[in-house]
Structure 1
């Protein structure tokens, strides 16, 4: 059972909020909660695990206990990695709320086969739904488009574009630059883009446990390349806070972004922070 360092205040803050447009809470790692003015609440990549010490060591608090979540209209995952598809973090939300889980096929396979969510938790098989690029989901007041992503470490990654009357939010998962982002930037007016950012570090190999030079996320130049192609108004760097050896300073991105037309602004947040579209 997951025990939060923070109790239930963040979950209650989300559930009690009445945003004027769209409120977005950063959960650390690459997790977010997106809530609209009518109350539609979507969790994206929420991860509350501790990693696999000493290989992956969590550097931030566990912000809530998933058993405390009583309101969710959907849970989305971008790809199959443990910090994006994790039964102990996500299945209790589905069990408590009856919400659907949307994810690409390899992510749903983790939930169904590797982690057996329908056996280990009170999750129905029809709550687990595959998505593919070009799909469109209508979730309450949001139209969610499933788009391309480029994560060479994943078997089937996707990104999501959340459209709402108040604005458009792009969640890239752990994507790196791709030619598809120019098309996406032309197709949608993206107000806020969340993109994974981190350093290159020495991480123990999963099999041998020998230190291995590891790049899992965008560096400073790659993340600005993504943001420029997407033509986003605001860039929110994510994932930089999570793993020991791969943490980074997002404030450094001011220098890298300064000469580009996009992003026009950096949105630097810490775990538990809220940003708004209105």
Structure 2
């Protein structure tokens, strides 16, 4: 996977010494978290170009996965290509020995559809199946697998990642769901990621005829989900990625203004770092 940016972003992550938890936005719905003790977790990193002319990538490829030398885990939220993608993720597992945590349908993509263990030096014991209600540890992080509501996916999950410095939520491509009131009450979420985009005309996967497509939250849905989750800070993702579905996240200031949550809107661009 040829990066437009060389290796500066992965070197930036490796050289960082955060006091608590640093979070870099990788574009699309990808993030990397690094804790004060050095534990490094990737969530939904995607470095592919889509399926032009149906899905056309609008942002740079921020790094080459072969350049990643430090990772403890890669998490997948659901089975779609821009969340489970061998060329983007298998080299990270190969280079670092990291574990790939994913729900069953996502693991089926890695094992059966893309054959990661045959195409890369990845072993079966690097795959770990997870499901809603489970909790596991990765270094200094405690990761809770929670419900998600993504009607376009077959088995989506969300992640609540706890650290002594704060709590991070990644919803994958979820829209508002019945479980979010419970999740918001159960956890004190400092920074939450929710997918945001417009409705657009995207060529149908089979017929290639333009079709009205809503893959991500609109302005009202994302604030509804953020409010139920009681987010301190909302970080919109995915708005930058696909031609025809891009959006302006700064408009969310107006939509969120009359709600108690989120308390703050955190707008970042690909390659930016924020802290939990």
Q: For the superposition of Structure 1 and Structure 2, which TM-score range results when normalised by the shorter chain?
A: over 0.9
Cα distance between partner residues in 1 of 2:27 and 2:117: 27
How many residues of Structure 1 are paired with residues of Structure 2 in the alignment?
A: 276
Is 1:252 matched with 2:247? Answer: no
SS in 2 for 1:46: coil
- Per the alignment, residue 226 of structure 1 pairs with 225
Cα distance between partner residues in 2 of 1:171 and 1:150: 12
Q: How does 1:110-259 map to 2 (within 5 A)?
A: 110-259=109-258
Q: CA deviation at 1:74?
A: 0.3
Cα distance between partner residues in 1 of 2:53 and 2:198: 18
Cα distance between partner residues in 1 of 2:97 and 2:272: 26
- Per the alignment, residue 48 of structure 1 pairs with 47
SS in 2 for 1:30: coil
- Per the alignment, residue 63 of structure 2 pairs with 64
CA-based RMSD? 0.3
- Per the alignment, residue 266 of structure 1 pairs with 265
| Cα deviations by residue, 1:102-153 (Å, 9 ceiling, x for unpaired) | 0000000000000000000000011011100011010000000000000000
Cα distance between partner residues in 2 of 1:148 and 1:125: 26
**TM-score normalised according to structure 2 size:** 1.00
Q: CA deviation at 1:264?
A: 0.4
Cα distance between partner residues in 2 of 1:23 and 1:246: 28
- Per the alignment, residue 14 of structure 1 pairs with 13
Cα distance between partner residues in 1 of 2:34 and 2:157: 21
Cα distance between partner residues in 2 of 1:136 and 1:267: 27
Q: CA deviation at 1:179?
A: 1.3
**TM-score normalised according to structure 1 size:** 0.99
Cα distance between partner residues in 2 of 1:64 and 1:70: 12
Unaligned 5+ segments in structure 2 are none
Q: CA deviation at 1:230?
A: 0.3
SS in 1 for 2:83: coil
Cα distance between partner residues in 1 of 2:261 and 2:274: 19
Cα distance between partner residues in 2 of 1:238 and 1:257: 16
Cα distance between partner residues in 1 of 2:275 and 2:208: 42
Cα distance between partner residues in 2 of 1:50 and 1:135: 33
| Cα deviations by residue, 1:191-222 (Å, 9 ceiling, x for unpaired) | 00000000000000000000000000000000
- Per the alignment, residue 98 of structure 1 pairs with 97
SS in 1 for 2:92: helix
Cα distance between partner residues in 1 of 2:254 and 2:274: 22
